[in-house]
Structure 1
Amino acid sequence: MSETLLNCLQYYGAAAGAIAALIVSLDLGRRPTGWAFVIFVTSSVALIGWGFLNDEGKGIGAQNLILLAINLIGVYRYLIRKKPVHAEAGA
């Protein structure tokens, strides 16, 4: 595998994960948080690729398989699922 491609996957995965974490931490609302989870998904995919194509990254690849599932749940919850309507307090 090309060393350049592996470096791109590794650094994109790291940078995208950091950017997504920043967006989530800013608590900008449901839609921006949902898009942060989309960025997390791309980060996980990149790090899965890097982990399993690289001789030294199997652990990161395995970890990101689990994180991919978690991030897909986040995309579903924040971008796809309709927000549940809760009964007003005291009603």
Structure 2
Amino acid sequence: MTAANLGARVTGWGFVVFTIGSVCWSIVGLSTGQTNLVATNAFLTLVNFAGIWRWLGRQRVYEQGGETAKQASRRSAVPNLFTATGIAGMAVVDSEGQPVGKAVEALVECASGSVAYVVVASGGVGGIAEELRAVSRDAVSFGCDRLRLAFDQAHLCALAPLAAGDWPGDPDEAHGAKA
């Protein structure tokens, strides 16, 4: 529940489950005289309480605030908004509207605050054998629930895959600006 990255609520409830487990193990340790088990699980209980506070308290408030703003923007005359954290995992479609993968991350230029490029994951199953490609901001249209590329899937596949952990530091090295 905590590793699946399914949002603050699910992660927070994962820490609740961990807390129940550490309390139960502390009880076992107390009833059997195992002071190391008690000490270890007392510490884990404190860590789990911090996780509950973070994910069911603070982080949940952040996510709710972003979701509220996103929904309010869709009902008003202002441009539609989405949270920057919402880019990761967003569906990516090609110029014909066909699914081609998902957004992994968007890299933002510090000086201007504008998106330089988006990393798109395609292929594979469950992250195994997927390939990551840097797609220039010029080739991406942002929607509320998906990103649209300015080219088709064949063009995306023709872009050089990124080496693991070696993403471009120069936005000009991102691909796909010309469709």
What range is the shorter-chain TM-score in?
0.5 to 0.7
Residue 25, structure 1, aligned to residue 3, structure 2: yes
What percentage of aligned pairs have identical amino acids?
32
Matches within 5 A, 1:6-85: 23-55=1-33, 57-81=34-58, 82-83=61-62
Runs of 4+ residues deviating >6 angstroms: none
Number of corresponding residues: 66
Partners of 1:83 and 1:72 lie apart in 2 by 19
Unmatched tracts of structure 2, length 5 or more: 66-83, 85-107, 115-179
Q: Which one has a bigger Cα radius of gyration?
A: 2
Name the stretch that deviates more: 46-55 or 75-84: 75-84
Deviations 1:33-74 (A, max 9, x none): 00000111101110110111113x321111011111110010
Partners of 2:41 and 2:25 lie apart in 1 by 7
By relative contact order (CA 8 Å, sep 6+), the higher-ranking structure is: 1
Q: CA deviation at 1:83?
A: 2.3
Partners of 1:51 and 1:31 lie apart in 2 by 30
Partners of 1:61 and 1:83 lie apart in 2 by 35
Partners of 1:50 and 1:24 lie apart in 2 by 25
Q: TM-score, normalised by structure 2?
A: 0.33
Q: Pairwise CA RMSD of aligned residues?
A: 2.1
* Structure with more of its chain in helix, by fraction: 1
Q: TM-score, normalised by structure 1?
A: 0.63
